[in-house]
Amino acid sequence: MKNRLRVLRAERAWSQADLALRLQVSRQTVNAIETGKYDPSLPLAFKIARLFDMPIETIFQADEA
Amino acid sequence: MPDEIPRRRLSPAALLGLAVGVAAVGGAVGALTDDADGLLRGAGSVMALASAAGAIWLTLLHWRRLDEAAREAHKAAWYWGGSAGLAVAGVVTGVFLARPETPMPWRLGDGDAGLVATGLLLCAAAQMIGYLVAWAWWWLVRR
């Protein structure tokens, strides 16, 4: 699963720690998602989408897409 | 857009540390009062039980405050690391069964009960070591 989390975070000048606080997860979790080494659950993906006010599919894309 | 940063509470690591501390205090009190008589021994047992209950409660709080990746790390570590540790313990069991004359450099307590307790402790230790290695590996490859 690929995602645009790092770009979206950078556009808002948020650090990984800032984003982690907003999502109520650890900074390590944000890093693992950004690097594509951990795929978030659906509830967390929805939370991310709500935070950035975007549809999920514009943030996350399947590898084959 | 929800832009407000939520306030942080006691961290999961702090809660886990507290749970270990409470359990250690309970264990120490139980051990120190084990040879005492009557009321003191009873009070020590009650304190040890209360500490165990407190430690379980703190561990549950710790688990509830973990985020999903941290929970996933624990679950994967327990499955893979714990299973690997148990497999190692199984091999050791096989060696001891095949060579009953193998000397025991160390054991808990006396008699058959002591031997069973030693075996249980070694199995638990092997699982814990496997768990810790797998947990560290899970995070290491996701840095």
The SS3 call for residue A60 is strand
Report the pLDDT averaged over residues B91-97: 91
Which chain A residues are Cβ-neighbours of B68 within 8 angstroms? 25, 29, 40-41, 44
Q: Are B8 and B27 in contact (CB under 8 A)?
A: no
Q: For residue range B76-88, what is the model confidence (pLDDT) as tens digits?
A: 999 999 999 999 9
Report the pLDDT value the prediction gives residue B94, as an integer from 0 to 100: 93
- pLDDT averaged over every residue in chain A: 94
Report the chain B residue with the minimal C-alpha distance to residue A12: B3
- Min Cα separation B6/chain A (Å): 7
For A35-57, the pLDDT digits (tens) are 999 999 999 999 999 999 999 99
Where is A61: in which H helix or E strand? strand A60-61
Chain A residues closer than 8 Å to B15 by CB: none
CA distance B69 to chain A (A): 6
**Residue B8, pLDDT score:** 61
ipTM of the complex: 0.80
What are phi and psi for residue B48, nearest 5 degrees? -65, -40
